[in-house]
Structure 1
Amino acid sequence: MGNREQTFNKILEVAYVMFAEKGFEKSSLAMIAAEVGISKPAIYYYFQSKDQLIAYLFEEICKEIKLEITFDFNDISKSNLKAKLLEIGYSSIEEQKKDPYFNKIFNQYMLLASRDESYMKRLYDLQTTFLASFYELLKYAVQIKAIHDVNIEAKAHVLAMVYDNIGNFMLTGSTLNYKDVWKEAIENVIGEINDDE
C-alpha cells in the first residue's frame, strides 16, 4: 500500500472516530489533519471540503450496511433457517461490540438528514433496502416451505426493527442480553419450522 493510500485510509479512520465522538459540527479538517499527522493544506489533496469527507464516509457506511444485509439464500435451507437467522443477528451484535463508533456516527447522519433532504432521501433508500432484505429472506423461507405464508411482510419488519434497535440500545451502554433478545424475536416471528410437506 502506497503512502497516499495509507494517508487516505488514515484520514477516513480518524474522521470516522472524530465525527462519532465530537459530531460533524465540532470537528474540522484541521483537527483531522493534525490527528493524521499531515498539514491542513495536505488534506485538501484528498478531500476538497469537510462536506465531501462526510459524504464519502456516508457512502462507505451505506455500502457496509448493504453488504451486511445481503443474504445468501444458497446457504439457507428448511433445516437451518433458524440457525442462519440467529447467526445474522449474533454476527451484527459481535461486530457492534468491536466498533463502538458505528451507532454514534450513524446518529450524526440521522441528525444531518433532519436538516439536509439529500441525506434524508439516502437514509430512506437505505431503510427501504434494509426492510426489503428481511422481507425477501422470509419470502424465500416460505418458498422452501420452512415457514407458513402468514403476515410475512409484518414479520420481516419486526425482525428488521429489532435488529436495528439492538444497536441503538448497545449505544446507550445498556447491558441487556442482546443475543437472547434476538433469539426471542426469531422464536416469536418464525415460530415452529413448518413440518407440512
Structure 2
Amino acid sequence: MGNSEQTFKKILEVAYVMFSENGFDKTSLSMIAKEVGISKPAIYYYFQSKDQLIEYLFEEIYKEIKLEITFNYTDISKDNLIQKLLEIGYMSIEQQEKDIHFNKIFNQYMLLASRDEKYMKRLLELQACFLDGFYDLLKYAVQIEAICDSNIKAKAHMLAMVYDNIGNFMLTGIELDYKEIWQEAVDSVFREQKGKI
C-alpha cells in the first residue's frame, strides 16, 4: 500500500472515530487532518469537503451493513437453520461489542437523515434490506420445510427489528444478555413449528 493509500485509510479511520465521539458538527477537517498528521490543505487532495467525507463514510458503512445481512443460502439446511440464524445475531453482537464507535456514528447518520432527505432515503433502503433479507430467509426456510408457512412475514419482521434494535440498546450501555435475547427471538419463531413438520 502506497503512502497516498495509507493516508486515505488513516483519514477514514480517524474521521470514523472523531465523528462518532464528537458528532459531525463538532468535528472539523482541520481536527481530522491534525490527528492524521497532515496539513488541512493536504486533506483536500482526498476529500473536497467535510460533507464529501461524511457521505463517503456513510456509503462504506452502508455497504458493510448490507453485506452483513446478505444471507448465503448454500450452507443453510433444514438441520442447521436455527443454528445459522443464531450465529447471524451472535456475530453482529460480537462485532458491535468490539467496535464501540459503530452505533455512535450510525446514530449521527440518523440525526443527519432527520434533516437531509438523501440520507433518509438511504436509511429507509437499508431498513427495507433488513426486512426483506429476513423475510426471504424465512421464505427459503419454508421451501426447505424447516418452518411452516404461518405468519412468516411478521416473524421475519420481528427478527429484523430485534436484530436491528439490539445495537441501539448496546449503545445506551445497558448491560443485558443480548445473545439470550436474540436466542429467544429465534426460538419464538420456531417454537410452534416443533412437531408440525
TM score, norm. by length of structure 2: 0.98
Distance 1:97 1:129 in 2: 23
1:129-157 deviation per Cα after TM superposition (whole angstroms, max 9, x unaligned): 11100000000000100000011111001
Amino acid at match of 1:123: L
Deviation, 1:196, is: 5.3
The verdict on how the C-alpha distance between 1:164 and 1:130 changes in structure 2, with shifts beyond 3 A counting, is same
Q: Provide runs of 4+ in structure 1 moved above 4 Å.
A: 192-197
Match of 2:92 in 1: 92
- 8 Å CA contact 1:81–1:146 kept in 2: the answer is yes
Match of 2:159 in 1: 159
Match of 1:15 in 2: 15
- The reply on whether 1:116 has 2:116 as its aligned counterpart is yes
Deviation, 1:103, is: 0.4
**Percent identity over paired residues:** 75
Distance 1:193 1:63 in 2: 34
Distance 1:57 1:4 in 2: 18
- 8 Å CA contact 1:135–1:157 kept in 2: the answer is yes
TM score, norm. by length of structure 1: 0.98
Secondary structure class of the residue paired with 1:21: helix
- 8 Å CA contact 2:148–2:196 kept in 1: the answer is no
Distance 1:84 1:155 in 2: 16
1:51-108 deviation per Cα after TM superposition (whole angstroms, max 9, x unaligned): 0000000000000000000000011100001100000000001000110000000000
- 8 Å CA contact 1:78–1:144 kept in 2: the answer is yes
Distance 1:67 1:192 in 2: 30
Instruction: List gaps (5 residues or longer) in structure 1.
Output: none
Aligned residues: 197
Distance 1:47 1:190 in 2: 49
Distance 1:50 1:76 in 2: 43
Match of 2:74 in 1: 74
Match of 2:6 in 1: 6
Distance 1:196 1:25 in 2: 55
1:153-195 deviation per Cα after TM superposition (whole angstroms, max 9, x unaligned): 1100100000011111111111100110000000112225555
Secondary structure class of the residue paired with 2:148: coil
Distance 1:23 1:62 in 2: 18
Match of 2:44 in 1: 44
Computed over aligned residues only, the root mean square deviation of the Cα atoms, in angstroms, reads 1.0
Distance 1:174 1:71 in 2: 29
Amino acid at match of 1:39: S
- 8 Å CA contact 1:145–1:194 kept in 2: the answer is no
Distance 2:178 2:90 in 1: 8
